Amino acid sequence: MASTHTKIGDFTFDNCLMNAAGVYCMTREELAEVDASAAGSFVTKTGTLTKRAGNPEPRYADTTLGSINSMGLPNLGYQYYLDYVIELQNQPNSKNHFLSLVGMSPEETHTILKAVQASDYHGLVELNLSCPNVPGKPQIAYDFETTEAILTEVFTYYTKPFGVKLPPYFDIVHFDQAAAVFNKFPLTFVNCINSIGNGLVIDDETVVIKPKNGFGGIGGDYVKPTALANVHAFYQRLNPSIQIIGTGGVKTGRDAFEHILCGASMVQLGTILHQEGPAVFERITNELKAIMDEKGYKNIEDFRGKLQYMN
Ligand code: SIN
């Protein structure tokens, strides 16, 4: 049978499927469940300098075509997640993991990353430059100057494997400009995409989540074409040393196959994981392997990035 084994930087994973930051990753218990599932890895909830309660509830709703959320980065503080990934990395046969992080200001981001640099953690870090849900705080990676300034500073002191979680871009010029910024840095990966920020879902005459008068990040079916476009646009533009994690609209093996075809080395599940729980990893892995078997692909490198165009 086909293998969904993959690599990000020097780290190997038995399966290219994992959770997306924000889903099933708030507590050690949730993370342990993902770790024990067929997923190849987990990423933690984005940890901030101090713990946060996040936005008022209800702040997540499933919808006909996916989900809307305005969580507002509720989390237990970066140290909680850092302690857990260090504990796991010291266990024999541990999977490799991703630690998601961001500060509420560039200064806080640097404080956190300096602490991670000084720690025993030697795994992957994903800096979340794309949360759309904290009132008054813009999605950082829509501001190319600030993004470049943060990364310039980070790489003066941070030497461990490091990637960024990006918001969706919608304009070819923005793909060019964003890629030109990321190509200046020794990034291990970029993750495309976070939710499509600030959508509005209405039930009868009322919004379905409380924060920000109902505005929230959209995930699920709505976002797959945008996610695929972002994965492929960055695959075409980034230095080949910068790998791509594909996130957005994956609910079947076929969706994961399409992300890999667009260039993704790893694929994350958000909305569907929230709906089905960690058993979803086995289902989607089996569906992906069945497609690969049918097409004669032995591993994901046989078709990764090989999207065909029309003449
Ligand atoms: C949130 O906590 O608001 C969701 C996570 C994110 O969009 O980065």
d(CA 116, CA 123): 10
Average pLDDT over residues 36-61: 98
Average pLDDT over residues 2-28: 98
Q: Ligand 1 in contact with 128 (CB < 6 A)? A: yes
Instruction: Report yes or no on whether pTM surpasses 0.95.
Output: yes
pLDDT class of 269 with cuts at 50, 70, 90: very high
Distance from the alpha carbon of residue 137 to the mean position of ligand 1, in angstroms: 12
Q: Ligand 1 in contact with 195 (CB < 6 A)? A: yes
For the chain, what is the largest distance between any 2 Cα atoms, rounded to a whole number of angstroms? 54
Provide the token pair at 88.
């796991």
d(CA 228, CA 207): 28
- Best of 46, 140, 268 for a ligand 1 pocket test (most atoms within 8 Å of beta carbon): 46
Q: Give residue 137's identity as a one-letter amino acid code.
A: K
- Best of 45, 48, 51, 73 for a ligand 1 pocket test (most atoms within 8 Å of beta carbon): 73
Q: Which atom of ligand 1 lies at the shortest distance from residue 197's CA?
A: 7
- Best of 69, 166, 193 for a ligand 1 pocket test (most atoms within 8 Å of beta carbon): 69
Q: Where are the domains of the chain?
A: 6-55+73-196+221-302
Provide the token pair at 79.
């140290």
Residues designated as active site: 131
The 3-state DSSP class for residue 243 equals: strand
Q: Which atom of ligand 1 lies at the shortest distance from residue 71's CA?
A: 3
pLDDT at 213: 98
Contact 17, 5 (CB under 8 A): no
Please tell me the CATH code under which domain 6-55+73-196+221-302 is placed: 3.20.20.70
Distance from the alpha carbon of residue 132 to the mean position of ligand 1, in angstroms: 7
Average pLDDT over residues 101-116: 98
d(CA 15, CA 183): 27
Residue with the smallest CA separation from ligand 1 atom 7 is 131
pLDDT at 115: 99
Distance from the alpha carbon of residue 22 to the mean position of ligand 1, in angstroms: 6
pLDDT at 164: 99
pLDDT class of 275 with cuts at 50, 70, 90: very high
Residue count (the chain): 311
pLDDT digits (tens, 9 = 90+) for 76-93: 999 999 999 999 999 999
pLDDT at 39: 99
CA end-to-end distance (rounded Å), the chain = 33
Q: Ligand 1 in contact with 194 (CB < 6 A)? A: yes
d(CA 143, CA 102): 16
pLDDT at 154: 99
d(CA 202, CA 185): 41
